[in-house]
Structure 1
């Protein structure tokens, strides 16, 4: 029997401030988190965090170099905190990553294997960054995958649509939060 975990990726204060479009994203994500907890699916939070001075960022990494210049994602800075509307509970695992994928530079694979998790439910910001990178990495690690399309968010709605409607269905089940909650509801 498959053992699942819900990944809540990069829903940090600064990222939410940049991406939230007022469409009710955080309440939908909260419903997914609450639904997972109701049926004992572990909720694992993933945050991007860079050490002060960003020694792990190469000047060849265009994306992260720009992030460092903007002063974003330094571990311990207030903007790197998980948004209070979806904050972890006591005992929830919070994994810190150093790149786009939740697996890159983190101990996520170790945490999942220790819990015998073989299936992931992906949520987060941004669809074109954390979600896409993590999905590809998880495919290579042979995880079963579900993407909650409306619990993912991107600053470009068209990119989000293309990924969730055309690309992701090749490797994952793509559902809405409501459809997923119905599927996991106790019978």
Structure 2
């Protein structure tokens, strides 16, 4: 029998502020988190974060190099407030928070070790952005032989069409794609 975990990825203050166009997103995600907890499914949070000065970031890395450059102007992911999980979906004491260094939840983190130690072999993916952390994590998790479910409305992207194409055409090749309501019905019955 599969043992699942719900991954809540990059739903941290700095990211939510950039993608805050959907006022229903955090309440929907909260329902999924509450359903997982109620069903005894572990909730694991993944955030992106770096040391002061961004020593993990190469200037050749187009995405993270730009973030490191902005950090010198006072922004970025090197301070506690930016990396903090949004309070509307905050972890409970004892729920793991994994810090990653790149787009995939597995890149530069101990996520695989946390999952293997808990004997988790199936992941339910949520997060911001669909075309970022969700896509990269899905691809890597599939290559690591995890069973995968994506909560389509538990993901958010800056481009609605990209989100649609990923959740309707790309992700179904490697994952079951369902809504939060569909998923919560299966875990609460």
TM-score scaled by structure 1?
0.97
RMSD value, Cα: 0.8
Cα deviation digits, residues 58-77 of structure 1 (max 9, x gap)? 11100001111222111x33
Give the count of matched residue pairs.
Answer: 185
1:23 CA drift (Å):
3.8
1:55-66 equivalent positions in 2, closer than 5 A? 55-66=55-66
CA contact (8 A) 1:11 1:83 kept: yes
Is the 1:20–1:153 Cα contact (8 Å) retained in structure 2?
Answer: no
Say whether the 8 Å CA contact 1:73–1:80 is kept in structure 2: yes
Structure 2 match to 1:182? 185
SS at match of 1:27: helix
Q: Which 4+ stretches in 1 moved above 2 angstroms?
A: none
Distance in 2 separating the partners of 1:34 and 1:158: 29
Give the structure 1 partner of residue 77 of structure 2: 73
Distance 2:22 2:177 in 1: 22
Match for residue 24 of structure 1?
24
1:1-187 matches, within 5 Å, as 1-71=1-71, 72-74=76-78, 76-186=79-189
* CA drift at 1:44: 0.1
Residues of 2 paired with 1:184 and 1:3: CA distance? 12
- Mapped to 2, the partners of 1:90 and 1:47 lie a distance apart of 16
Of residues 76-85 and 109-118 in structure 1, the stretch that sits farther from structure 2 once superposed is 76-85
Q: Distance in 2 between matches of 1:96 and 1:48?
A: 5
Which ranges in structure 2 are unaligned for 5 or more consecutive residues?
A: none
